Amino acid sequence: MEARILVVDDEKSMCDFLEIMLKKEGYKVTATTDPKEALTALEKDFFHMVLTDIRMPEVDGFEILRRAKELNPDTLVIMITAYGSPEGAVEAMKEGAYDYITKPFQVDEVKLTIRKALERYLLWEENLRLRQLVEQRYQFWNIVGKSPRMLKVFDLIEKVSQAKVNVLILGESGTGKELVAKAIHYNSPRKNGPFVPINCGAIPETLLESELFGYVRGAFTGAVTSKRGLLEIASGGTLFLDEIGDLPLSLQVKLLRVIQEREFKRVGGTEDIKVDLRIIAASNQDLAEKIHKKEFREDLYYRLNVIQINLPPLRERREDIPLLVQHFVEKYSREMGKEVKGVTPEAMELLVNYDYPGNVRELENIIERSVTLETEPYITDKHIRSYMSERLLARDFPIKVEIPEEGIDLNRVIEEIEKAFLLKALERTGGMKKKAAELLGMNFRAIRYKLAKYGL
C-alpha cells in the first residue's frame, strides 16, 4: 500500500527537503508551508501520517495535531521541534502525537522513525481487517436462513450472545452447531478473547484429559515439559465442547468442578489454576436418554443447559435450501475463480426435494462438487443426479420406500432413478458407453436406446 503523508513546515527549505526525501522513499506526499492550507487538506483527503512543525505563525503544530486526530484518530502525527525545546514535544505526545524529531536531525534517523511508524500502522490496519473479516463471517445474521424456525434461532443467538450463561446447542450432524457457537462468541463481549473448539468424540479418552487440563512436567511418560490445556488457553474467551455426549464420565466430574469453582489442576499438578471462560457445548445425541442410562451426569447437564438452542435439520426447513444453494454457489465460484452463477430450475427441484441426511454440510459438499465439475454458467441437474445416484449405490438394497399421502408418479420415479444410474455409469467410464453398459449389466444396444430415450 502507498502511504500518504502530509508535510507542514513554514520554512520553505525544510518543507521542500522533506517532500523530496519522502517521495524518494516511495511515499505519496502533500507538502505545504501554509498551516491553514494543511487544515483544508486534512478535511478533503485521508493521510496515514502528518509530519508537522510545532512552532508556526497563526496556526501551530498543536492545532494541526488536534484537527488531524478529530478527523481520523488513527492518523499518525510526528512533530518537528527545535533543539532545546523538549517541553513542546512532551506536551504533543500527551495530546496524541506518535513521536517527535528534533532539528537539526539525521536524515537516516528520520527515515527510520517514519518507516517504523508506518509499518506499525499497516500491521494494525491488517489485524483490524482480519478481525473484521472474522467477525463478519460469524455474525449470526450471516447464518443463511429465512424459515420461521431459523428466525427463532437467530433471535435466541442475539439475546444469548450478550449474556454470560453457558449454552447447549442440539442438532443433527451437519446442521451448523459450531457456526452458531462462533456466532455467539464473535457477537459477545468476549469476542476479543480466544474461541477454542474441541471435539470430545474425536480424541482418545487417554489423551482428552491432558488436552483439556494440560499437564506438568513428569506427570506421565513423555511429559518432558509442562503444557497448558485448552481450558487455560480459552480463559478470557469461549471453550466450545463439541459432541459433549461423548465426554467420559470421569472427565464429566472434573468439568463440573471447573464450571462450579472456575479453577482446576493440571494433570500431575498441585496448583489451582483460575480461569474466566464461557462454555458452549453441543451434541447430536439425546442427552436425556444418556442421563437415563447413567452415561451422562444430570448435574453437568443442567450446568451446561442454561440456555438451549435447537437447530432444525435441513429437511425441516426446505424453504432455506434455495438461499443456501446460492450462498454456496457464490462462495465456491469465488474460491475457484469460476463464473458459475446459479443452478437450473431442474437442478433446484432435485435439491429442494432431497432429504439431506448430512444436512447443510452435505448440501455444501454437493454444491462444491458441482461447481468444480460444471463448465456452463449454471449447474445442471446432471451433476445433482450423479451425486444422488452415488448415494443410492452406497445404500444397502432394498432401499427404504415411502409414499406421501398425495401419492407418487411411479413411472417418473423409476425414470429418474434409471437416468441417475446411467449418468453415473457414464461418469465412471469417462463416457464410454460399452463399458457403462457392462457396469449396469446391459448390452450395448439397450444402453444406447436408454440414452436416446432420455436425451443423454
Q: Residue 396 above 50 pLDDT?
A: no
What pLDDT does residue 366 have? 94
Please state, in angstroms and rounded to a whole number, the distance separating the CA atoms of residues 321 and 323: 5
Q: Could you read off the pLDDT of 262-276 as tens digits, one per residue? A: 999 888 888 888 999
- 292-301 LR contacts (CB < 8 Å, sep 24+): 295/245, 295/249, 296/245, 296/249, 296/252, 297/249, 297/252, 297/253, 297/256, 299/256, 300/252, 300/255, 300/256, 300/259
Identify which has the larger pLDDT, 158 or 456.
Answer: 158
Span 390-411, average pLDDT = 64
Task: Output the pTM of the full model.
Answer: 0.60
Domains of the chain are 4-133 (3.40.50.2300), 141-312 (3.40.50.300), 315-453 (1.10.8.60)
**CA-based end-to-end distance of the chain:** 53
Q: Could you read off the pLDDT of 299-335 as tens digits, one per residue? A: 999 999 999 999 999 999 999 999 999 999 999 999 9
Q: Residue 397 above 50 pLDDT?
A: no
190: how many CB neighbours lie within 10 A of its CB?
20
- The answer to whether residues 363 and 315 touch, using CB atoms and an 8 Å cutoff, is no
